[in-house]
Amino acid sequence: MSSIGAVCEIWNFTREDDVVAAPGVECWSGRFLFDVQDLQFDMNLYGRGLMSLKPDSKVRLYATLPHTRVLGPYLRFAIWVQGCGKKCPGCMTPDAASFDGGFLVKADELAERIVNSLEIEGVTISGGEPFDQVSALTNLIHAVRARRDLGVIVYTGYTLDYLMNRNDSGEIASFFSLIDLLIDGPYVRELDDGLSLRGSSNQAVYCLSGRYAGVADQIYGRPVRKVEIHILDNELFLAGIPGSDMLNTWKERKITG
């Protein structure tokens, strides 16, 4: 999992006039323009939830959780994708690293499960590495947004700067246009300071829309971490961002027990 714990750095990339935008972002004419190292993404070109779903689009998953309160504000549907090449020391979900593991799910079937999950306010996508499945996840969120206005939070082990300069920047921009809040950067065990909803202090929180701008600084980077334990497929499953002591205890329990 691209885990996310000094100061919680929160940038607001927003259309709202009453929220200060971060450096490198211009807010104007009802849309926002990313401008990082001369690479520009006009987010208005892609729309939010208006693109049709590509036939047979599939997402490779590690796990899903229909209801959780420990991966962002409000009640959320959580998705952990399968596959990540970073191999961060101390990763919470090393079993999600293999690109051949997990299981494939059709995007339209997963979208159906999400929109039928009652009372959720949004979706949180982690992993694994979501940006290694950009096309499939873009299709998934478009399918969801066509039926419900759900918020989208994404955890990535890549930095925002790296993503904006990737060769597949068109697909990245399309995915960005659907994300309300992004937590970026690899988990660095030596920088894990125990703050909420981020694994280490090198990671930053970016409000890519105004949806969570009013609550982000109230829940990210707080001095308390919360986790939940669920039963998935007859096995215990730990959700949330645990402290290092709790994570070590959890891993030892899995080995011994």
- Domains, the chain, in order of start with CATH, read 9-256 (3.20.20)
Q: Which amino acid is at 86?
A: K
The pLDDT, as a whole number, for residue 238 is 85
pLDDT recorded at residue 165: 86
- Give the per-residue pLDDT at 10: 56
Give Cα separations from 161 to 91, 208, 218, 245 (angstroms). 22, 14, 25, 31
> What was the pLDDT predicted at 54?
64
Residue type (1 letter), 103: F
The predicted pLDDT at position 39 comes to 34
pLDDT at 249: 72
Question: Crossing angle, helix 134-145 and helix 169-176, to 10 degrees?
Answer: 30
According to the model, what pLDDT value does residue 53 have?
55
Q: Per residue of the chain (257 residues), give pLDDT as tens.
A: 433 323 345 555 543 333 333 333 222 222 333 433 333 444 443 344 444 456 569 999 999 999 999 999 999 999 999 999 998 988 888 999 999 999 999 999 999 999 999 999 999 999 999 999 999 999 999 999 999 999 999 999 999 999 988 877 788 989 999 999 999 999 999 999 889 898 999 999 999 999 999 999 889 988 888 888 898 887 888 888 887 777 767 666 654 55
Structure tokens at 234: 């007859």
DSSP of the chain = --------EEEE--S-TTSPPPTTEEEETTEEEEEETTEEEEGGGT-SS-SPPPTT-EEEEEEEEEEESSSSSSSEEEEEES--S---TT-S-GGG--TT-SEEEEHHHHHHHHHTSTT--EEEEESS-GGGSHHHHHHHHHHHHTT---EEEEE-SS-HHHHHTSTTHHHHHHHHTT-SEEEES---GGG----TT-SSTT-EEEESSSTTTTTHHHHTT-S---EEEEEETTEEEEEE---HHHHHHHHHHHHH-
